[in-house]
Amino acid sequence: MYFVARLLLIDISYIHFISIYPIGVIVSLIPITVGGFGIREVSLITLFSLFDVSPASVVALCLLDSVFVSQVIPAAVGGLLALFDVKHGKKKNEDVVR
């Protein structure tokens, strides 16, 4: 996520980022809203405002994390693993039939 933050022009050191971002994720685990949506954004906006980061950049970072990194990448990896498993599974079945 640090590299995604750098792509969004969030200029913060790595040490500060890895000390702030997990706090926001842990705060989102408090069962106030469904899936912690909104809670993480508010907590991270508050924490990143200490380093003069714009709220729009923080919200974009949170949305990219919740949609792209947490859902799209694991789905793509699972799809590739399933594709290769199907190819290897067909070869094994053809060997058994012969």
- Report whether 47 contacts 23 (CB < 8 A): yes
Domain span including residue 65: 2-70
Per-residue pLDDT of the chain (98 residues; tens, 9 = 90+): 898 899 888 999 999 999 998 998 888 888 888 877 788 889 999 999 999 999 999 999 988 888 887 788 888 888 888 888 766 655 555 555 55
In a domain, 75, yes or no: no
Number of domains forming the structure of the chain: 1
Write down the residue that tokens 């200029």 correspond to. Answer: 11
Question: pTM score > 0.85 for this model?
Answer: no
In a domain, 79, yes or no: no
